[in-house]
Structures are given as structure tokens and as C-alpha cells.
């Protein structure tokens, strides 16, 4: 609101009256804050379902979203679209160290490459052996960073927090415990 805080008596919420309003203002941290309970005669009048045009409304049908056959619920349920966990066993990690990935392959072409992939899928690779024979540039570039340090988790990256300045209205004093950070 550009004009500063709205006085309590101008809000469309249920408020105390008389001496109880003075007691409430004396006991609260922010006297201009409302209760949040709407005044019943002014809340959603007219009611959303009682409008005359609501009786003649037809729901628009969109072709790709309205087609039940090609639009299953799990594909459009974004509330339960959890990240899927990926599991890597030691032989898979050893295969990535020895032969690289699809984006950065270090595998031989032809029959030797086919044998190497069969060795990875069968689980015959040992991670200890792969770490001991891996080239230094693979260990320094793909496992550790260029300085030889392990990767930093995303939560440990350096962040700076600044306290936003208080508004000019004087609604919050220095004794008020809540601050906004950005």
C-alpha cells in the first residue's frame, strides 16, 4: 500500500470494540495489524455460485488436455513429481572411471569396447583397482577438483545475507523480533 498502513477501523475484518480495542492495542506488538477474520456480511458477497451467469456456463474443452486417453493423471500430477533417486554400485562407478561416460567416452572401439562394457554390466570391476590405476587427470578432474579437494555440497557454498531496511511507516520497531532477509 502506497499510503502507509491502513488503520484498523478501515479494514474489512472483525475487530474488538471499546475498551477491549485499547487493551488489544496495548498488548500487541503491532497495533495496526488486523485479526484476519473477515466481516461476514462483506465476505464473498455475492457468493461465487449464486451468480446468474454461473448457471449457463459451460466448461471449455481443450483437445490435448481434455483427451483422457492420451493424458494420464501421473503425467500431469506435479504435486507428486518427486526427484527420482539414482543408485550406483561400485562396479558402475569403476566402469565410469575406467571407460568414461556417454558424454566423455574413454572406451576402445570395436570388440575391445564391447568386452569392456560386458565387464561393467556383469559387475566384475573393483572400485579399489579402478582408483589405483586411474590416470591422474581423471582423478583430479572428475573425482576431485583441480586443487585436489573433494566437491563442495551445494549447501556449503558461500552466501551473503543482507537485512532489508525497515519501512518508513514505523510499523516495526527494533524490539520486533522478525526481520526480512534477501
pLDDT tens digit sequence for 49-97 = 788 887 787 777 777 767 777 778 887 788 887 777 888 888 888 888 8
Following CA atoms 42, 44, 49, 54 in sequence, which dihedral angle do they give, to the nearest 10 degrees? 100
* Shared-domain flag, residues 29 and 102: no
Q: Which residues of 99-116 are buried (b: 16+ CB within 10 A; e: fewer)?
A: beeeeeeebeeeeeeeeb
Contact 20, 27 (CB under 8 A): no
Helix, strand, or coil here: 75?
helix
* Shared-domain flag, residues 75 and 97: no
Q: Would you say residue 130 lies in a domain?
A: yes
Range of the domain at 115: 90-143
The count of domains in the chain is 2
> What pTM does this model have?
0.39
Does residue 158 surpass a pLDDT of 60? yes
Q: What is the DSSP letter of 61?
A: -
Does residue 19 surpass a pLDDT of 90? yes
Reported as half-sphere exposure (CB side, CA atoms, 13 A), residue 8 has a value of 17
Does residue 109 surpass a pLDDT of 80? yes
* Shared-domain flag, residues 122 and 72: no
Amino acid at each position: 500500500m502506497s499510503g502507509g498502513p491502513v488503520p484498523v477501523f478501515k479494514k474489512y475484518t472483525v475487530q474488538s470494540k471499546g475498551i477491549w480495542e485499547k487493551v488489544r492495542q496495548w498488548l500487541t506488538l503491532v497495533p495496526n495489524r488486523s485479526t484476519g477474520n473477515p466481516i461476514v456480511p462483506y465476505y464473498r458477497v455475492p457468493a461465487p455460485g449464486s451468480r446468474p451467469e454461473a448457471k449457463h456456463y459451460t466448461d471449455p474443452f481443450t483437445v490435448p488436455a481434455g483427451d483422457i486417453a492420451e493424458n494420464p493423471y501421473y503425467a500431469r500430477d506435479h504435486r507428486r513429481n518427486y526427484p527420482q533417486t539414482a543408485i550406483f554400485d561400485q562396479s558402475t562407478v569403476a566402469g565410469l572411471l575406467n571407460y568414461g561416460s556417454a558424454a566423455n567416452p574413454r572406451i576402445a572401439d570395436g570388440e575391445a569396447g564391447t568386452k569392456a562394457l560386458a565387464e561393467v554390466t556383469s559387475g566384475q570391476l573393483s572400485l579399489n583397482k579402478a582408483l589405483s590405476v586411474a590416470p591422474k587427470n581423471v582423478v583430479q578432474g572428475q573425482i576431485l577438483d583441480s586443487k585436489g579437494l573433494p566437491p563442495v555440497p551445494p549447501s556449503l557454498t558461500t552466501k551473503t545475507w543482507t537485512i532489508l531496511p525497515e519501512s518508513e511507516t514505523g510499523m516495526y520497531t527494533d524490539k520486533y523480533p522478525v526481520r526480512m532477509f534477501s
